[in-house]
Amino acid sequence: MGVEEIRKELKETIRDIPDFPKKGIIFKDITTILQDADKFKKSVDILAGRYRNKKIDKVVSIESRGFIYGAVLAYKLNAGLVLIRKKGKLPYRTYSVSYELEYGTDTLEIHQDSIKQQDNILIVDDLLATGGTACAVIDLVKRLSGNIVELCFLIELSFLKGRKRIEETGQSIFSLIKY
């Protein structure tokens, strides 16, 4: 089965949840992929294959569903794992950034010692919507002088134009599934 067939299979597996977390939002539920060992493996293998020869030092993953793919990709790429968490969740000294998202505002934090200068960084999350979260993470990684190789998403909601917002920062993006 080729990559395009797998993309189609994964896209058909994702469940839409209307009006979650608030009215007017259609939530893309990836638990349907995660609970199917074959589909989860296929999605991870495609993503890991893309970065296998990119010399990734750290995978930066975003709370919370980004942790799932971030951890597996860090393992497969023999890279360290850096967690981006909501304010007050990390136990050591942090840098923080506030940002707007599709349905409100939030603050994210990173440990100050999590990235060394010029570490090659892969930023991973499950979903790209407006790009607010991703741009906030770009700011945090740059504050620590990391070299961002690419931003990687399982799903991209193209109609929300997050890709354009990220590309305006000069960063490269890859999304496995697009809506």
Looking at residue 171, which CATH number applies to its domain?
3.40.50.2020
Catalytic annotation present for 165 = no
Distance CA 178, CA 159 (A): 10
Q: What domain count does the chain have?
A: 1
Angle at 16 between CA 71 and CA 136, to 5 degrees: 45
Q: Is the pTM of this model over 0.85?
A: yes
Count CB-CB contacts under 10 A for residue 49: 11
Residue 127 domain-assigned?
Answer: yes
Residue 22 domain-assigned?
Answer: no
Q: What domain range includes position 144?
A: 54-178
Mean local confidence (pLDDT), 132-154: 97
Cβ atoms 141, 123 nearer than 8 A: yes
Phi then psi dihedrals of residue 73, to 5 deg: -65, -40
Catalytic annotation present for 52 = no
Residue 145 domain-assigned?
Answer: yes
Contacts 24+ apart (CB under 8 A), 34-43: 34/68, 39/9, 39/10, 39/13, 42/1, 42/6, 42/9, 42/10, 43/6, 43/10, 43/69, 43/154, 43/176
Furthest-apart CA pair in the chain: how many Å? Answer: 46
Residue 17 domain-assigned?
Answer: no
Residue 16 domain-assigned?
Answer: no
Residue 11 domain-assigned?
Answer: no
Angle of helix 65-76 relative to helix 37-51, nearest 10 degrees, comes to 60
For residue 71, the model assigns a pLDDT of 98
Evaluate if residue 156 carries a pLDDT over 70.
yes
Amino acid at 55: K
Residue 111 domain-assigned?
Answer: yes
Residue 140 domain-assigned?
Answer: yes
Catalytic residue, from 9, 63, 100, 102: name it: 102
Catalytic residue, from 65, 85, 109, 156: name it: 65
For residue 101, the model assigns a pLDDT of 64
Mean local confidence (pLDDT), 14-27: 93
